[in-house]
Structure 1
Amino acid sequence: MNSQQRVLHTPDPAERENLATFLTRAIRLDPAAVVRLRRRGSSLVSAWVATGFETLAVRTVTAELGVDDVTVGADGVLAGLRTGHPVDLGYSMDSAWRGALPPTDGFVHIDDVPARALVELAERGADVAREHGTSHGPPASLLDQSVLTVTGADDLEVQVPMRVVFALTAMDFIPHAGEKTESRRIQPTELVRVRATRTWLRLDARYGSVARRLGGAIPLSPS
């Protein structure tokens, strides 16, 4: 594989801005963030990042990628996007990526939940974290706590932990009025889709998705 192939081309300015916004949020959570770029067909590229909540975030944009799958520094991609030219991805940092990605298919749609309710949960969780957190962040007991039970067809049930809710709001994937994500600024009709496989949980919001591997457990169970 030569370096000439490691090029990301995002000709649409709107898609370039979408990806730049996604990477900006990832770097805000981790200044040393890496992004894993994966080609989906001939015209789509999925960008994956770790959020710091043991939960992955992804945004898919219309773009062309010269390789199937590569991990590079998020800051370098962001700087390249701002030039408006194809981004030379340089040397890969594949060893910096830890863990697997969720499958591209096989997810069951459990139900759609109001985005405002998820942000309210994040707000309450943030209050608890401020009260009981340390310099290392929120306590693990809070992050691992199941804060929402979603039940779908055939009585399938999935538990959503706080760390997944925090990841969704930290990446600012839910549309809102004003500069800050606050529950009162979110339209009551805005929804987040909850999907799952036997080992992965995924929340799909308007501006991106978050996914968490459930440690080999089976999250789908009859209620």
Structure 2
Amino acid sequence: MTPTLHVHDPAERENLATFAGHAVRLDPAAVIRLRRRGHDYVSAWAATSFEVLAVRTVVGELALDDITVAGDLLLSSLSGPAAGAPIDLGYSMDSAWRSSLPPMSGFAHVEDVPARSLIELAERGASIAAEHAGGHGPPASLLDQAVLTVTGGADRVEVPMRVVFALTAMDFIPHGGDRTDSRRIPLDEIVRVRATAAWLRLDARYGSVARRRAGAGPSLRVLG
């Protein structure tokens, strides 16, 4: 019997489907890692093509503590059954998940930044990438460039372009119908920058992205 996920609220079901849809759009072979968070929540993780992790948490009940499933199957299962019906997760694909996850706690709030500023950075980055990209996407030098620096207390956090690209590609910032137009982002919409000694995380209204900080060691490993 394959494991199941219960998401009773149609709005939460749609939230998860939207997350899975963005992950599959970025990578048709994407896998989604589902982790139980307390009794009533499930966090869905995806490894984006920018080498940045994306996560969205929904109200739901997961039969297992932790399972990785095919993104396209999850998306299909979310679109099929009626609201409240169990969501068939298919067979476990745990061996396909190769990224370590950040800790669930311990992140310190560093600073809030205007969401519009991040969209503007992504717009400029996309323009530069279009000029210099070859057949393999944006150059690594652009993706690794620190485009935002924030400070909080004694901590100074640099945000590379790849993290900004991942945040906008996953559509985590509310917009007025065109996520590529910064003018449609409300002026008071913010993105919260949080960090640990090893991880950087950007929290937007519809989800978060996370990446190991420079010098904190590799973010990829084979999980047993």
TM-score, normalised relative to structure 1: 0.93
Q: Which runs of 5+ in 1 are unaligned?
A: 219-223
1:101 alignment counterpart = 101
1:54 alignment counterpart = 51
Structure 1 residues 163-219: Cα deviation after superposition (integer angstroms, max 9, x where no partner):
00000000010001024332110001000000001110000000000000125539x
Q: CA deviation at 1:99?
A: 1.8
1:70 alignment counterpart = 67
Give the conservation status (yes or no) of the 8 Å contact 1:37–1:48.
Answer: yes
User: 2: CA distance between counterparts of 1:62 and 1:137?
Assistant: 36
User: 2: CA distance between counterparts of 1:180 and 1:195?
Assistant: 23
Structure 1 residues 24-44: Cα deviation after superposition (integer angstroms, max 9, x where no partner):
111100011100000001110
1:178 alignment counterpart = 177
SS of corresponding position for 1:20: helix
The Cα RMSD (Å) is: 1.2
Q: Given residue 25 of structure 1, which amino acid in structure 2 is its aligned partner?
A: H
User: 1: CA distance between counterparts of 2:109 and 2:102?
Assistant: 15
1:80 alignment counterpart = 77
User: 2: CA distance between counterparts of 1:149 and 1:216?
Assistant: 16
2:207 alignment counterpart = 208
User: 2: CA distance between counterparts of 1:88 and 1:188?
Assistant: 40
Q: Given residue 141 of structure 1, which amino acid in structure 2 is its aligned partner?
A: S
SS of corresponding position for 1:159: strand
Q: Given residue 183 of structure 1, which amino acid in structure 2 is its aligned partner?
A: S
User: 2: CA distance between counterparts of 1:64 and 1:155?
Assistant: 39
Q: Percent identity?
A: 69
Q: CA deviation at 1:106?
A: 0.7
Q: Given residue 201 of structure 2, which amino acid in structure 1 is its aligned partner?
A: R
Give the conservation status (yes or no) of the 8 Å contact 2:178–2:184.
Answer: no
Aligned residues: 214
* Mapping for residues 1-150 of structure 1, pairs under 5 Å: 3-4=1-2, 6-82=3-79, 83-84=81-82, 85-150=85-150
Q: Given residue 186 of structure 1, which amino acid in structure 2 is its aligned partner?
A: I
Give the conservation status (yes or no) of the 8 Å contact 1:172–1:181.
Answer: no
2:221 alignment counterpart = none
SS of corresponding position for 2:76: helix
SS of corresponding position for 2:149: strand
Q: Given residue 147 of structure 1, which amino acid in structure 2 is its aligned partner?
A: V
User: 2: CA distance between counterparts of 1:8 and 1:113?
Assistant: 35
1:158 alignment counterpart = 157
